[in-house]
Amino acid sequence: MSTETPTRDDDPDQLPPFTEQLSQQLGGVRGVVEAAIPITLFVILNPILGDRVLGPLTGLQWAIVLSASSAVIIAGYRAARKEPMRFALNGLFGVALGSFLAWRSDDAGDYYLPGIIQGGIYGFLLIGSALLRHPIIGWIYAVVAQGGKKDWRENRPLVDVLSRITILWGAVFIVKNAFRLWLYSADMDTALGFVTLFGGWPVTIGLTALTIWAVRRKMKAVQAEEARTA
């Protein structure tokens, strides 16, 4: 009789390591860095260049061009290497729309406006999905971390946990973007940029880590209870 410890290949229901799940959810360290590059460039360059005219463009326009160009280069590089485009295309769309609005209005605050509106809508959709017992975070977790399995829908304690976590995500999105909207209306563009930067991926990483930890904790508790009653 073999006494070897089962591996993940032997037991498909065994949870992958926490760090592996976190990496899958966020697209890896590279995905996080690539998504942050365009907004970081704009946040840094816009206040440095200011309203000065540098060659054919103003400082704001240079910040827009360099930010948008970085998003295009990242997406193009991934496409050329036939790598996953999901995170790159999401970033490219947001940067393109924000860049268009800011260029047209000559107002740096408009660069952030699409993200503010999008984030607020996400917040309400997240909370609504949880109240309907179809938490969006649950579906995302199932697709990314569990290969699209729907088993979690039959696990009431897990649905409860994912619903509460989804409400937390929604509340954070709403509060964060309400504050950003206030900064936008007050023309506090520099502060808006830094809140966008540090309230973006750092917050997403924290919420994702919390989600994975809570789900793993609940799944282990359920598995332990099933083992006791088996």
Q: What is the pLDDT of residues 10-32, one digit of tens each?
A: 444 455 555 555 555 555 556 66
| 213-226 average pLDDT score | 77
Query: What would the pLDDT profile of 59-88 be if each residue is shown by its tens digit?
Result: 888 999 999 998 888 888 877 877 666 666
Domain positions in the chain: 15-106, 112-230
Full-model pTM: 0.76
| 47-51 average pLDDT score | 82
| 168-194 average pLDDT score | 94
- CA dist 154 and 14 (Å) reads 18
- CA dist 72 and 139 (Å) reads 30
| 174-182 average pLDDT score | 96
Burial (CB count <10 Å: 0-12, 13-18, 19+), residue 154? exposed
Using the CB atoms, write b or e for 75-104: b if 16+ within 10 Å.
beebeeeeeeeebbeebbebbebbbebbbe
The pLDDT value recorded for residue 184 is 94
For residue 14, give the DSSP letter.
S
- CA dist 68 and 99 (Å) reads 7
